[in-house]
Structure 1
Amino acid sequence: MTDRKLALEAWESLFRAQHELFTEMNTDFDHTDLGQAEYDVLLTVTRSPGMSARLRDVTANMLISQPSVSRLVDRMVARGLVAKCPDPDDGRGALIRATDAGVREFRSVATVHGRSIAERMSRLDDAELRTLRDLAEKLRGR
């Protein structure tokens, strides 16, 4: 059986590390037109086939509620970063597609943000990074 105290210590350490890194990396967005949440939407959409993803898949990758994601996507549509259309496979759903402008914005931020992530994660060697990735996936149930 898992040691409860150790489990709590591990959770707290993981939570605090994630929070500190996330806070530090928020500065990656200080001089851009994209916020962290918009970046996350575009990350999911641009990684999907045809740069198009179901709204429910975008929501599943976000740390905010479904109504908040819907409002965010609507604001992004208004800014011309994404387009939203009915999902032909789900009458209640929507497809989100990155526009050319959205892809350009995403790529300009992704370059800086990717460097920032690599720099901060360089505290770990490649074997530790693989272990961290694998453990995080295991905790996510994958």
Structure 2
Amino acid sequence: MTDRRLAIDAWESLFRAQHEIFEEISADFDTGVLAQGEYDVLLTVMRGPGRTARLRDVTANMLISQPSVSRLVDRMAARGLISKCPDPDDGRGALVRATEEGASAFLDVATVHGRSIIERMSGLTDEELEQLRALTSKLRSPRPVD
């Protein structure tokens, strides 16, 4: 059985670390090139083949509701950062593709943001980073139902 106090202490430590780090590295988006939500959309899109992703995959990677993602994607398309077209394999779905302007903006911000993340995480060894990745992945996995 899990130690209740230890579980709560560990959760609070994780939550506070995430909050402090997030607050610190959010400054990477103060330039106005891309908002953090736009960066998150482009992160998924840029990782896809041909800088393209299904809208449902973008939504799955975001921490906001599906309607909010749809509105964000529409605003980004209006700004020329991405294009949106019907998914030929799913009549109800859409594909989102980074434009040259969107890819360029993403790469500019990603360079700065990546440096901030590396600097912040540099206090951990590679072994600790692997452990952290494994532990957070385990926490994100669905729990078995008893």
Shifted more, 3-12 versus 46-55: the winner is 3-12
Deviation, 1:31, is 1.4
Q: Distance in 1 between matches of 2:47 and 2:136?
A: 20
- Match in the other structure for 2:138: 138
- 1:56 match: 56
User: CA offsets per residue over residues 78-107 of structure 1, 9 Å max, x none?
Assistant: 000000011112111111001111000000
1:72 Cα offset (Å) = 0.3
Give the superposition deviation at 1:50: 1.3
Question: What is the aligned partner in structure 1 of residue 34 from structure 2?
Answer: 34
Partner of 2:118: 118
Give the TM-score, by structure 1 length.
0.96
Deviation at 1:32, TM superposition (A): 3.5
Map of 1:1-142 to 2, 5 A cutoff? Answer: 1-141=1-141
The AA in structure 2 aligned to 1:106 is: F
TM-score norm. by structure 2 comes to 0.93
State the alpha-carbon separation in 2 of the partners of residues 107 and 44 from structure 1. 13
The one-letter code of the counterpart of 1:141 is: S
Aligned residues: 142
State, as a whole percentage, how many aligned pairs show the same letter. 73
Query: In the alignment, residue 53 of structure 1 is paired with which amino acid?
Result: A
In the aligned structure 2, how far is the partner of 1:81 from the partner of 1:40? 13
Q: CA RMSD in A?
A: 1.1
**Structure 1 residue ranges, 4+ long, deviating more than 4 angstroms after superposition:** none
Q: Indicate conservation of the 8 Å contact 1:46/1:103, yes or no.
A: yes
Q: What does the per-residue CA deviation read over 1:41-94, in whole Å, with 9 as the maximum and x for residues that have no partner?
A: 000000011111111110111111111000000000000000001111211111
> 1:131 offset after TM fit, Å?
0.5
Unaligned runs of 5+ in 1: none
